[in-house]
Amino acid sequence: MIIYVYMANREQIITELYATHFVENYVRQFAGSADRVYLDDITDEIYLIICEIPAEKITTIYNTEGIAGVRGYVSGLITRQLRSNNSRCFRRYTRHVYRHKTFPSLKWLETTIKE
């Protein structure tokens, strides 16, 4: 009996993640209400970070644990990127939204002037 072991390369693994929309669905599910403004940008940033993962590391995870292991690794990466104050996604998108969200609305001033 011959058992064939399929060894995927990094491009095939990233293509599989992209084809199943795993990153988009996870970001949409995990992102807070403030992050939804930049949902596409955050997803693109996550894909860039995934592409920066060394090929040896992602193929090792895939070959030992399968696509479930890669999804677990990527879900941890997304969680850290969206929730850490020092992450690239937080610095570029989330912090910007929170800063503008904390300023009070000026509608009370407009209604006061009209009266």
For the cut 90, the answer to whether the pLDDT of residue 26 exceeds it is no
Residue 103 within any structural domain of the chain? yes
Residue 1 within any structural domain of the chain? no
Residue 48 within any structural domain of the chain? yes
Residue 61 within any structural domain of the chain? yes
Amino acid 89: pLDDT: 79
Domain interval for residue 49: 10-114
pLDDT more than 90, % of the chain:
32
Count structural domains, the chain.
1
Residue 59 within any structural domain of the chain? yes
Query: Which one, of 31, 52, 49, 50, lies nearest residue 40 by Cα?
Result: 31
Residue 4 within any structural domain of the chain? no
Residue 104 within any structural domain of the chain? yes
Mean pLDDT of the chain: 76
What is the pLDDT confidence band of residue 88, given thresholds at 50, 70 and 90? confident
